[in-house]
Amino acid sequence: MKTLREYIKEADEKGVAIGHFNISNLEALHGIYNAAKSLDLPVIIGVSEGEEAFVGTEVAVAMVKAIRETDNYPIFLNADHHYSFEGVKKAIDAGFDSVIIDAVKLPYEENVALTKKCVDYAREISEKTGRDILVEAELGFIGQSSKVLDEVPEGVSEETMTKPEEAKAFVDATGVDLLAPSVGNVHGIVTSGNPRLHPERVKQIREAAGVPLVLHGGSGTMDDDFVACIGEGIDIVHINTEIRVAYRDAIKKFLNENPNEVAPYKFLAPGVEAVEEVVKKRLKLFNKM
């Protein structure tokens, strides 16, 4: 099977993007996997620090590995938005395929130092084990919560978007494999409308930084904006809030209609189907299908 790095390179060459979808439990994993498999596409499962704590670090690795090995399927596990070296190390040691060190809130020099420390550790373990662990970092603020928001989070604006020369300096100083820029994207669904993305800025950052780019905060983004940015160098897109909302709403509807149902495999099944539907729709768009 190809490595995640090879799948990303392939997506880059084809002008498509790999979908990255977050989970908090086994049901969401089933929904995402069913969708990816039905379209025969590689897929990345993400767990943030909070999601990882709820699922269990080793359990997350075991679930994804079981699918990958039993079905010989390209499904990968990413430690999404980890804020400390200890958190990153724990995920790497447990067997994650990639990690995101998110140190955007630190002063720049400290962000660089922490990110570099994570890259060095990933390289050391990759060398020792023969794995190819990827490290991603974020540059530029895009908010923090995968939830439904009334308005664009404070601190996100066109002025705070990532600058191409900053992206280049950061990648040169840290050696990260992937970069998540701020290009108009925000975490969460903004009820009054998500901001528009800036494909031209994506292109400039991709050229300057020289590494594949990852679009975070995919939920609520307009289809045309996705397509334009994927064409300019976005190779992975993250979706979380849309999955959370679909899962919650489907289960809520089922339980409202069937208040006496107590079998979790029955009342959670509509949640799995709802996740599958969202993921399929997004994967088709990201892969020009």
Cα separation, 259 vs 276, whole angstroms: 24
Residue 78 is a binding residue for ligand 13P (CB under 6 A): no
Q: In this chain, which of 238, 250, 274, 278 binds ligand 13P, going by CB under 6 A?
A: 238
Q: In this chain, which of 42, 87, 140, 218 binds ligand 13P, going by CB under 6 A?
A: 218
Shortest distance (Å) from residue 20 CB to ligand 13P: 7
Cα separation, 221 vs 239, whole angstroms: 10
Tokens 């995968």 correspond to 146
Pairing of strands 213-215, 98-101: unpaired
Q: Do residues 49 and 87 make contact, with C-beta atoms less than 8 angstroms apart?
A: yes
Dihedral angle over CA of 262, 263, 266, 270, nearest 10: 60
Beta bridge partners of 99: 79, 135
Residue 217 is a binding residue for ligand 13P (CB under 6 A): yes
Shortest distance (Å) from residue 8 CB to ligand 13P: 16
Q: Which amino acid is at 174?
A: T
Residue 162 is a binding residue for ligand 13P (CB under 6 A): no
Q: In this chain, which of 19, 42, 140, 188 binds ligand 13P, going by CB under 6 A?
A: 188
Segment lying near ligand 13P (by CB under 6 A), choices 10-18, 116-124, 197-205, 217-225: 217-225
Residue 87 is a binding residue for ligand 13P (CB under 6 A): no
Instruction: Please name which of 46, 152, 151, 40 lies closest in space to residue 91, comparing C-alpha atoms.
Output: 46
Tokens 């089933």 correspond to 30
Q: In this chain, which of 82, 216, 280, 282 binds ligand 13P, going by CB under 6 A?
A: 216
Shortest distance (Å) from residue 267 CB to ligand 13P: 24
Cα separation, 133 vs 127, whole angstroms: 10
Q: How many residues bind ligand 13P (CB under 6 A)?
A: 15
Catalytic residues: 80
Q: In this chain, which of 52, 80, 97, 177 binds ligand 13P, going by CB under 6 A?
A: 80
Shortest distance (Å) from residue 15 CB to ligand 13P: 21
Cα separation, 72 vs 86, whole angstroms: 31
Shortest distance (Å) from residue 266 CB to ligand 13P: 28
CB atoms within 10 A of CB 193: 11
- Composition of the chain by helix, strand, coil, percent to 5: 55, 15, 30
Residue 146 is a binding residue for ligand 13P (CB under 6 A): yes
Shortest distance (Å) from residue 75 CB to ligand 13P: 17
Residue 280 is a binding residue for ligand 13P (CB under 6 A): no
Residue 187 is a binding residue for ligand 13P (CB under 6 A): yes
In 3-state terms, what secondary structure has residue 1? coil
Toward ligand 13P, which CB reaches closer, 122 or 279?
279
Residues in the site for ligand 13P, rule: CB under 6 A?
22, 46, 80-81, 146, 187-188, 216-219, 238-241
